[in-house]
Each structure stands twice: as C-alpha cells, then as structure tokens.
Homo-oligomer: A and B are copies of this chain.
Amino acid sequence: MAQTSKNIAIIGSGLVGSLLAIYLRKKGHSVTVFDRRPDIRTIKFSGRSINLAMSNRGWTALRKVGLEDPIKQIAIPLDKRAMHVNDKPVYYQKYGKEGEAIWSISRGILNKRMIDLAEEAGTVFKFNEKVWDVDLPGAKIYTGESEKGEWQEYQFDVIFGCDGAFSRVRHKMQRRSRFNYSQNFIDVGYKELTIPANADGTHKLDKNSFHIWPRGEFMLIAMPNIDGSFTCTLFLPFEGKVSFESIKTEQEAKDFFKEYFPNVRMEIEDLTKDFFNHPTSAMVTMKCYPWTYWNKVALVGDSAHAIVPFYGQGMNAGFEDIFVLDQLMDKYGDDWDAIFDTYQKVRKPNADAIAELSYRNFVEMSSKTADPKFLLQKKIEKHFASTHPEKWVPVYSRVTFSDKPYADALAIGDQQEAIMQKVMQTPNIEDKWDSKEVEEMILGLLGDQ
C-alpha cells in the first residue's frame, strides 16, 4: 500500500538512524536527521568501539535498499573463530556451513558511508543540534545550544528515536505512567586497542578469522579492518583481583599483557598508551515497553532494546527493526497507528530474546568455556548437528545465518538444552559421546517434543 509523503524527523545519525533515513526516502518521505554530535565524517573516531559483525539480518535489510554490494566492499568475511590459548597452537572453529560467514566492519567507516548514502538519497542532516525535549502527542522537537538556553521548535508528522541506549526520546516516554523500563549493567567493561597492519598493508593475523584469547574471567578479541589493521577489544571486570581497577600503572598494564597475552602483546600498537588514553566502557542491557506513542513516535534499534555485544547482534537487530517497519508500511499504508502498534508487538519478543541470548553468551564466555563438561556437551551437539543437520540447527546458526525470529531461536535453544541436560547424565558419556546410543537418545528426545 502506498504512503502519503510525511515530514519525518529521525533523532540520531548512527547506523540505525541513517539506514532508516534511506528506507524512508525510498518511500518518498521528507527526512531530517538530528544529531547532538558533530558530523562523524569530519572528526576522528572515538577509540571506544567494538568492530561490528554484520550477519544475515543486517545484510537482508541492506539488500532491500540495494546496499549489500557497496557495504560488502568495506567488510571482511570471517568464517571461523581463531582460538588463542597460551602454549598451544591456534585452533579454528568454523562458524557454520560452507559459505556462511559474519562480516567484520569498522563502525566508524560504516557509519560515514551510511550517512553519505542517506545524504545522496535526499536526507537533510542537522549535526551539532541537540534535542532537549520532545512533545510526544504533538510530534514536536525542541533543540538548542543548552538545556537551559533558547530552544527552537520543529513540527513533524512522525518522529523516530534512533538515539541509542541512552535515548532522549525514550527518556521522555519513560517519565510517563505505565512505561516499563530496565537498564542492567554487567560488571565487565571493555577497552579498544589496535593491532596495526604490516608495512606492506597486509594483516598480522589471519584475516578471515574472529580472533579470541579466552582467559576465563576475561578475554581479548580482534577483528580485521580493510586497512590491514585489527580492532582489538579487551573485556575485563571493572573490579576484582584481575580488573581494570587493579591495573593502574604502565608497568601493571605491561605485566598483565605479559602474563595473559604473551603472544599478541608485541603486536598491539601503543599498548600502554592506549590502555590509559582510551576510555573503559560499560555494557548495558536495556529493555522498555511500549516502543511507540500513538501514530507519532517510535523507538528503533538500541533506543528500544540495547543489548550486550556478545552475540554480535546489536546492529543486526536494529537493522531488522527497520526491515520489519518497512514491510508494515507496505501493508498498512497511511495507517501509522497500525504500523507502530504491530511493529512493537512483533519486535518486542524478539528483542527480549536476543537480549537474553546475548547475556547468556556473556555468562558462557566468562564462566563456562573452561568447563570440560560444557565443552563435551558442545562437541556432542556439533557431532549430532553434522549427522542430522535437518533435525538440529545450532542456536548460533539460527541467530546468525537465518531470518527466523530470535524468539524461536531462544525457545528452540531451550529445548535443545533440556535434551542435552538429559544426555549429559548418561553414565560414561565422555567415552561414548559419538556413539550410536547417544545419537538414538537424542533422536528419541527430539521425537518426544
């Protein structure tokens, strides 16, 4: 169904805001994007970002507006994890089937490119313009130099809040009665570090791997950039015996890397300088409901559902929001009440599911990767999945390489876990993990469901 052209404001020029602008321009709407920060294309990027892992849902949303190919040019496919354990050779774990990969992209490069594309599509960007208040029923926004200074009023037909985990737009909704909201920080923080390219521009580590140095309570990861460098992220508890709090001097930072990351520390550029210059960032799971106000205002992406990054799905989930919104606009035309109400009802359970899966991955990475029983369970699952691929799709694949709802992935994952809990109680399971008996047991348990 066609839509009448509306005058639409998007708050936030991040990845979700700029992709939404492109979608809305395709539908013929006037689009103005406000951002309180300067144009990211004119400044040095912050040194506090984790590289993005674009997977199936992200590509699906980009493909719809013809952006899959241009964005793939700034992305690198990773088809496997590279696990770095001290005193052992690196070992590799394939992510999925042949041809399945996640794609590493620098957030800064992608965001700049997306803003370029949105601008080419006719979006008006207003950078350095701070939104201080939103009149939700009136679809008005108020901007100005400071919260207490003079404000300018803008009237729109529809407003989208794409202003991230600490959204001003949501903040306004949050003060209303019957608005459910939660923000929960985890006790682990992260810090960005860099492995530069070789002199000839090639990568110092395998370019098509997601590199992980798991160390129990903490870990280092590295993802490749197209300039030959890697963006590394150190995840470490804020407080405790080995923690950001406990590393206060350059010597302590050096000792920490020497002890835990001896094989990579020499590759990291400006290790101790960056360690103290780059901020230590926190990670939050944010949930809220409702996501919309009448037919006037909707939250999209992190402003509606911020998640911890351990499933690599934050951007993908936000892009999928847009893909779903677009389908609902096709379906409901000018009935923005129906568009917004269906949008929040469809997306909320999926957002909750990927929040839960992401949090569980954090727990799994922190505390289970060293547990032999857990590793055996994963080995059995993998073996069974390769024998019966039609009967057992791993949750990771369902999340990363399919368009099936996140909520289904969570539910099916819980069923699989219940089955595996029973399987793991089999006496001497470690000796017969790949036996016909175990295979038959799983088949039987699957049949019971």
Which A residues are closer than 8 A to B by beta carbons?
147-148, 166, 174-175, 177-185, 238, 282
Contacts and interface: CB of A to CB of B under 8 A. Distances in A.
Given A166-B175, A175-B166, A177-B282, A182 B183 contact: yes
A181 B183 contact: yes
Number of copies: 2
A178 B182 contact: no
A185 B178 contact: yes
Contacts of A177: 185, 282
Contacts of A179: 183, 185
A147 B175 CA distance: 15
Given A148-B148, A178-B238, 12 more contacts: A147-B148, A166-B175, A177-B282, A178-B185, A178-B282, A179-B183, A179-B185, A180-B184, A181-B182, A181-B183, A182-B182, A182-B183
15 contacts: A148-B148, A166-B175, A177-B185, A177-B282, A178-B238, A178-B282, A180-B183, A180-B184, A180-B185, A181-B181, A181-B182, A181-B183, A182-B182, A182-B183, A182-B184
A303 B187 CA distance: 24
A180 B185 CA distance: 6
Contacts of A174: 183
Name the residue in A166, A175, A183, A282 with the highest tally of chain B Cβ atoms < 10 Å from its Cβ: A183
A287 to B, nearest CB: 8
A282 B178 CA distance: 7
A185 B289 CA distance: 10
A171 to B, nearest CB: 9
In order of increasing CB-CB distance, the 4 nearest A-B pairs are A182-B182, A178-B185, A177-B282, A181-B183
A436 to B, nearest CB: 38
Contacts of A147: 148
A177 to B, nearest CB: 5
Contacts of A181: 181-183
Nearest to A180: B184
Nearest to A149: B148
Nearest to A287: B182
A89 B432 CA distance: 68
Contacts of A180: 183-185
A358 to B, nearest CB: 17
A174 B182 CA distance: 11
Contacts of A178: 185, 238, 282
Nearest to A186: B178
A238 B175 CA distance: 19
A284 to B, nearest CB: 8
A305 to B, nearest CB: 14
Contacts of A184: 180, 182
